[in-house]
């Protein structure tokens, strides 16, 4: 998947919050494209709300992956600023899209709760900067996505997420984050 992940002005340094803002748009594109690809393969989603629920799982997964990658590229203070800003940006995107579908409501808080739960759950699994999430991490994420999809072909959803969707999402996020951090202050 192609995503814009380079700064227009390469001669500037960018704060962790700036990187988080740019990366949130990339993560949204990755999540949306992943759901669309699964639908194109025949996996069932019936409503816009269901699609957004699947996207929310992808976004929580990508926030955690970004945090793990940031741990290898940033000092603790920059990482905390980055992941806090990234989580807030992603929550705002989710809230705006849920409000479009469901009408006014406090969707930001409920997504932040989900995000915090997933961050704690995913932290129990292994991750390497080179190989990405370990098999347990991929399985946990796959089970979360499977639970949100329609009942048809549930047994194949887990396989699709673990073997195709998650690795592609991680690779795209890793490249985008590397491009955005390449010209930024990481500390």
The whole-number pLDDT of residue 10 equals 59
In tens digits, the chain (187 residues) has pLDDT values of 554 545 445 556 667 888 899 999 999 999 999 999 999 998 988 899 999 999 999 999 999 999 999 999 899 999 999 999 999 999 999 999 999 999 999 999 999 999 999 999 999 999 998 899 999 999 999 999 999 987 777 779 999 999 999 999 999 999 999 888 874 444 3
The whole-number pLDDT of residue 7 equals 42
Distance CA 20, CA 82 (A): 6
Burial string for 25-46 (b: 16+ CB within 10 Å, else e) reads: bbbbbbbbbbbeebeeeebebe
The whole-number pLDDT of residue 174 equals 94
The whole-number pLDDT of residue 13 equals 64
The whole-number pLDDT of residue 110 equals 93
- What string of DSSP letters covers 57-123? HHHHHHHHHHHHHHHHHS-HHHHHHHHHHHHHHHHHHHHHHHHHHH-SS-HHHHHHHHHHHHHHHHT
Closest CA to 55 of 37, 41, 42, 69: 37
The whole-number pLDDT of residue 12 equals 62
Distance CA 99, CA 23 (A): 22
Q: What 3-state DSSP class applies to 132? A: strand
């Amino acid at each position: 998947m192609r995503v814009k992940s380079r700064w227009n002005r390469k001669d500037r340094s960018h704060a962790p919050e700036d990187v988080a803002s740019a990366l949130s748009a990339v993560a949204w594109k990755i999540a949306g494209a992943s759901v669309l690809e699964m639908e194109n393969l025949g996996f069932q989603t019936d409503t816009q709300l269901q699609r957004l629920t699947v996207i929310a799982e992808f976004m929580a997964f990508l926030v955690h992956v970004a945090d793990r990658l940031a741990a290898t590229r940033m000092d603790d203070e920059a990482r905390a600023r980055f992941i806090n800003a990234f989580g807030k940006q992603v929550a705002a995107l989710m809230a705006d899209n849920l409000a479009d579908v469901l009408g006014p409501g406090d969707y930001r808080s409920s997504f932040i709760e989900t995000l915090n739960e997933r961050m704690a759950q995913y932290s129990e699994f292994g991750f390497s900067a080179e190989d990405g999430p370990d098999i347990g991490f991929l399985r946990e994420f796959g089970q979360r996505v499977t639970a949100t999809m329609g009942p048809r072909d549930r047994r194949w959803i887990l396989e699709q997420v673990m073997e195709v969707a998650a690795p592609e999402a991680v690779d795209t996020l890793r490249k985008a984050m590397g491009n955005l951090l390449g010209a930024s202050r990481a500390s």
